[in-house]
Amino acid sequence: MSEKSISEIKKIFTDTDPEDEAALKAFEETYISDERAGVKALADKAGKKLALLQKEKARMNEMFSFEREYSAYKFICGIDEAGRGPLAGPVVAGAVILPKDCSLLYINDSKKLSEKKREELYERIKTEAVSYGIGYADNNRIDEINILNATYEAMKQAARALDPAPDLLLIDAVKLPGIDTKQVPIIKGDALSASIAAASIMAKVTRDRLMEEYDRLYPEYGFSKNKGYGTADHIAALKKYGPLDIHRKSFIGNFIEI
């Protein structure tokens, strides 16, 4: 039995990095045979954390399968967008080049992540990416050229913001017109490619923060909750108060007269 007290061992467990496989394994092996029920329970928790971490590492290994397939390219960029469907606000695109030895975990389609996890990963991607870029097309541009072409514009803007410039683009579902760089469109790419998933996180967090700013300006519309999407409350506010200058006229004609 360890000479350490339960409180000391609990502090060791609390301070153990949940992404440190070796540390979790060492903790489990050190204390699993301890006769004290509280210590044994901590060792069991460490073992469960270790199993989840190993499962996540295996998932992330799969998420990098496209990046490995095209590893001959030096700077592989993932591109995705957020906000094609809302009634208000811009469409925002993210472009991310991850390092070849990227060890980030929990990257996934941004819609599958909690807001807290997206925010955490957003900051980590900003720090650890080789480069990242953000592109926008506002509601007026969407009305002018339609949402698909506006999305293309935002994606191109995001890719052009990268330094170094990418030599391969992995893109969620679409292929960008007028781009010479080699492109690989991947259906459901934000759930299959780490680079695209990282771009989806950058795009969504950026757009969500912008819609929260709009919420402070126009609290009646509930933008902090609906992010501009056509929820019942948003449509009710649109009918009661009328459209704002951030509403997409081409999207709201089914709800009010323009």
- Using one digit for the tens of pLDDT, what is the confidence trace for 44-62? 999 999 999 999 999 999 9
Question: Does the pLDDT value for residue 1 go beyond 70?
Answer: no
Domain ranges for the chain, please list them.
Answer: 6-63, 65-212
Strand partners, 97: 77, 131
Q: What angle do CA 80, 179, 126 make, to 5 degrees?
A: 35
**pLDDT given for residue 2 in this prediction:** 65
Question: Does the pLDDT value for residue 146 go beyond 70?
Answer: yes
Strand partners, 135: 93
| Per-chain mean pLDDT for the chain | 96
Q: Each residue of 185-227: pLDDT tens digit?
A: 999 999 999 999 999 999 999 999 999 999 999 999 999 999 9
Strand partners, 53: none
Domain 65-212: homologous superfamily in CATH: Ribonuclease H-like superfamily/Ribonuclease H (3.30.420.10)
Half-sphere exposure of 76 (CA within 13 A, CB side): 24
Order of strands across the sheet with 76-82? 131-137, 91-97, 76-82, 168-172, 182-186
Q: Each residue of 89-125: pLDDT tens digit?
A: 999 999 999 999 999 999 999 999 999 999 999 999 9
